[in-house]
Amino acid sequence: MKSIMPQTTRHTLRNGLTVILKEVHSAPIISWWVGYKVGSRNEPTGKTGISHWVEHMMFKGTERFPAGALDREIDRAGGQWNAFTFMDYTMYFETLPADKIDIAMEAEADRMANAIFDPEETESERTVIISERQGLENQPTFWLAEEVRGAAFRVHGYHHEIIGDETDLRSMTRDDLYEHYRRHYCPANAVAVAVGAFDSAAMLAKIESLFGSIEARGAPELFARQEPSQQGERRVQVERPGKTAFYEICHRIPNAAHEDWVKLKVLDNVLSGSGGASDNKTSRLYQALVKTEIAAGVGAMIVPTIDPYLYSIIVTLRDERSPEEAEDVLLREIARLQRDGISGEELSKARKQAKAAFAYSTESVTEQAYWLAQSFVLDQEDWFDGYLDRLTGVTADDVLDVARRYLVPSQRVVGILQPTDPEAEGD
Amino acid sequence: MTSYTASIPNEGNINRVEFDNGIVLLIYENRAVQSVNITASLHAGSIYERPERSGLASLAASALLTGTQQRSFDEIHASLENIGAELSMRGHIHKLGLFGKALAEDLRPLLETANETLRYPTFPAEHFERLRGERLTWLQYSSFDTRYRAGKAMRQALYPASHPYHYGTYGDEQTIASINEADLSLFHAGHMGPDGMILVIVGDVDSEDAMQMVRETLGDWRNPEQSGVTRADFPEAPSGTERQTVLVPGKTQCDISMGALGPARGARDYLAAQIANSVLGEFGMMGRIGKSVREEQGLAYYAYSHLGGGHGPDPWIVSAGVNPDNVGKAIDSILAEIERLVSEAVSDEDLADNQSYFTGRLPLRLESNEGIASHIHAMESYNLGLNYLSEYRDMIYQITQDDVLGAAQHYLDPTNMVIAVAGPEPDGSAAESA
């Protein structure tokens, strides 16, 4: 395969900031990311949603860049910028024409230490975030996801949605937010990534000059509670007005650093087809559920996480088909996989799809930078550069082995979204 | 570093060929990637269907990939998925859109499958019934989606039933139930053909090789039954404010969709209208609307405006998601910003900011194969000329404050808009406002 990925270099500043650089000169663009190793995973009860709210407050200004100033600056430069909070991390990024990248770098250095958290702005943002949650609640599948995650994780922070519970969004104070910011936003808990059209030595010097003077603090102790082992299958049912039923089945899987994670990724490719073409109609689950007209759609999710998480399959039922029918089929497919494993043809397809999907997902500097930032959060230095080799090194025996060890009833969480008659609402 | 000016797609580096069957092929070599993208369009959108068959064009587009004279459903999809390729067809209002993606080494099988599915579909009955069921499930689910319902109500009020834009491309439960396989075959025979087809190929390919592949696949396609091109007229603009309320039980939040008739892509004041839209609801954090509704009042997570611009009078839309108690306040704030836009010229700073924004973002939009293909397709489809992107900067900087004000006044009038709200049972203010 032609390499579009020149050498990645890693550096650590004296204050603990990790820097990852990759020159890509195919377009006059630079993508600049700063990521913090804190997310909803690290939130105690009463503070759910705080990481995401802090992310919003980072757009509310510093002394140097008042609220709204950077929105205009970045747009004026023809760039894009945004941020997102995940269970394990919070990421901020700007992608700009290469000759305009300084403003983004200065902004991230400034708000790593100098965000204001104005009390009035905090209150105004409280209603914005509650509105964001209410918008999510308008989707029935949000309620299902929230209940399933809550059932799967009784103790660990993965149990609540990233947006947080409304009761916490109403009760948290400006000082709670500021304390969370001051504790977690420091160089030793952060990574800065640049990918694009620059000279690495000059870029590193610029980063050093902007970030080097930020106070060095030790990496914060992150709030995290270990989930006790699951003692048997768990089930939840959600009822919402509507006409469409959904069925979700999850199995506990290891974290991204574990050698089995990539084997489960290949297993998922065979089962659901995700990771290859966008709509995999030859996958086992499409053939068994959609082609047979039980489901209108089926999808799966396997995401790399710091702690053990879930491999989830979700089925959208057709009218007059029941979740029980979907479950019967799914369990039969899992049993078949555990009995017979996968064919050589399926393995070849998974490998080719992995190669294609990796090529597609790394063609922009923004996507490459995200991959590299993620490698820091996951403590996996070669997460990006070694990803394809790891994936294509998986054998059919590996897939059979992980199917037998992880897709087991005792480690299963099942959720059903049962639509209720909208006319009966409130009766 | 690659010279950016030289790499902007233009008539010097786009290879354009007109085939004698009417296909226009445009190829752009992008050696920075490992993949190839094909983007194509045919004159076979929902504008060619009758209202009682609403949804036919998009169903026919999806059904192209369910079986051909040569191969079964499974064989077609195995041939794509075994090489990690994607191929999809989608019915829009004016056109059928085709999108394909593969590793560059697999351009030939991708083109062969595109050719076969476009020309020789058999619309197998069992797959048609499956597709129909999936579409009905989607429509049922969407009937409980507040954003979908608000947008649909706005569209139906803005365009009369005699206008093609009154109807969604996905149809409704009644029309989808009435369509049969024969309708698909007739639609295919009457509207899918090479005349007017635009095919763009972008990626790590050699132009001569790609051209030869197209010649060997789609080059001999003929369809003497293919109909002529239909255009959409401008309907009457709303007179007075028309309010629509859609109750969707069990929801927490209301969606607001406000609409007016916007310019077609080829309109003289299209770019000025785009700058007006950006000032109104895009630039920075969702423009003036975002500043008022989200930043200053904290009423909504999203509140923005959008101006599409295609072959006909697409709507100029303002969307917001708000708590039912805040619907009236949000609508009033949005109308106040529209009133300001049509009564005051934008400031020097606003104009300069947006000119810089429009020109500065071009490199980002041209980074991916998809972005490049989309721009090349638009240049051809809207007769903008292949040097449009090279001349774009000058066009943007020639726009004046009067141009922006004129475009806003041409299309927007806060006293003549459609305002649709979808959400839970209103508990006071929402009902009155909506």
Number of domains comprising chain A: 2
pLDDT value of residue B350: 96
pLDDT-derived band at A362 (thresholds 50, 70, 90) equals: confident
Please write the tens of the pLDDT for every residue from B36-84. 999 999 999 999 999 999 999 999 999 999 999 999 999 999 999 999 9
A226: in domain: no
Mean pLDDT, range A201-212, rounded to an integer:
98
A219: in domain: no
Are residue A80 and residue A181 in the same domain, yes or no?
A: yes
Q: Which of A157, A176, A211 lies at the terminal end of a domain, its last residue?
A: A211
The structure tokens 């030859």 sit at A282
pLDDT-derived band at B427 (thresholds 50, 70, 90) equals: low
Helix (H) or strand (E) holding B98: strand B96-103
Are residue A263 and residue A144 in the same domain, yes or no?
A: no
Where is average pLDDT lowest: B7-11, B20-24, B272-276?
Answer: B7-11
Please write the tens of the pLDDT for every residue from A222-241. 999 999 999 999 999 999 99
A360: in domain: yes
A292: in domain: yes
Q: Which of A158, A180, A211 lies at the terminal end of a domain, its last residue?
A: A211
Token representation of residue B409:
């006044």
Chain A within 8 Å of B319 (Cβ-Cβ)? no
What chain B holds in terms of domains, given with CATH numbers, is 4-217 (3.30.830.10), 242-433 (3.30.830.10)
Q: How far is A74 from chain B (nearest CA, A)?
A: 8
Helix axes B56-63 and B181-191, enclosed angle (nearest 10): 90
pLDDT value of residue A2: 41
Are residue A415 and residue A333 in the same domain, yes or no?
A: yes
pLDDT value of residue A3: 41
Yes or no, beta carbons of B250 and A240 under 8 Å apart: yes
**Whether pLDDT at A76 is above 60:** yes
Are residue A374 and residue A282 in the same domain, yes or no?
A: yes
Are residue A321 and residue A365 in the same domain, yes or no?
A: yes
Token representation of residue A201:
């030595």
Are residue A205 and residue A275 in the same domain, yes or no?
A: no
Are residue A174 and residue A252 in the same domain, yes or no?
A: no
Report ipTM for this prediction. 0.90
pLDDT-derived band at A426 (thresholds 50, 70, 90) equals: very low
pLDDT value of residue A427: 34
Q: How far is A219 from chain B (nearest CA, A)?
A: 33
Using CB atoms, which residue from B295, B301, B364 is nearest to A80? B364
Yes or no, beta carbons of B103 and A356 under 8 Å apart: yes
Are residue A68 and residue A198 in the same domain, yes or no?
A: yes
Q: How far is B185 from chain A (nearest CA, A)?
A: 22
The CATH code of the domain that includes A298 is: 3.30.830.10
Identify the closest residue of chain A to B80 by CA–CA distance: A277
Cα gap B41→B48, rounded to integer Å = 14
A334: in domain: yes
Are residue A262 and residue A206 in the same domain, yes or no?
A: no
Mean pLDDT, range A69-83, rounded to an integer:
92
Yes or no, beta carbons of B298 and A29 under 8 Å apart: no
Please write the tens of the pLDDT for every residue from A374-405. 999 998 888 888 889 999 999 999 999 999 99
Yes or no, beta carbons of A319 and B323 under 8 Å apart: no
A225: in domain: no
DSSP labels for A280-307? -TTSHHIIIIITTTSEEEEEEE----SS
Identify the closest residue of chain A to B302 by CA–CA distance: A132
Closest CA to B176 of B186, B184, B188, B166: B184
Please write the tens of the pLDDT for every residue from B276-308. 999 999 999 899 999 999 999 999 999 999 998
Cα gap A313→A145, rounded to integer Å = 11
Q: How far is B173 from chain A (nearest CA, A)?
A: 12
pLDDT value of residue A4: 42
pLDDT value of residue A422: 75
The structure tokens 């917001």 sit at B320
pLDDT-derived band at B125 (thresholds 50, 70, 90) equals: very high
Are residue A329 and residue A248 in the same domain, yes or no?
A: yes
Residue B293 is given by DSSP the state I
Please write the tens of the pLDDT for every residue from A286-297. 999 999 999 999
pLDDT value of residue A424: 61
Instruction: Residue A306: give the domain boundaries.
Output: 234-424
pLDDT value of residue A275: 60
A73: in domain: yes
pLDDT-derived band at B434 (thresholds 50, 70, 90) equals: very low
Identify the closest residue of chain B to A57 by CA–CA distance: B295
Report pTM. Answer: 0.93
Cα gap A266→B66, rounded to integer Å = 27
Yes or no, beta carbons of A71 and B322 under 8 Å apart: no
The structure tokens 């929105």 sit at A71
Chain A within 8 Å of B71 (Cβ-Cβ)? no
Within 10 A of A421 (CB to CB), how many other CB atoms are there? 11
Please write the tens of the pLDDT for every residue from B166-195. 999 999 999 999 999 999 999 999 999 999
pLDDT-derived band at B262 (thresholds 50, 70, 90) equals: very high
- Taking contacts as CB-CB distances below 8 angstroms, the residues of chain B near A118 are none
A186: in domain: yes
Are residue A240 and residue A364 in the same domain, yes or no?
A: yes
Are residue A149 and residue A195 in the same domain, yes or no?
A: yes
pLDDT value of residue A310: 98
Yes or no, beta carbons of B368 and A80 under 8 Å apart: no
pLDDT value of residue B118: 98
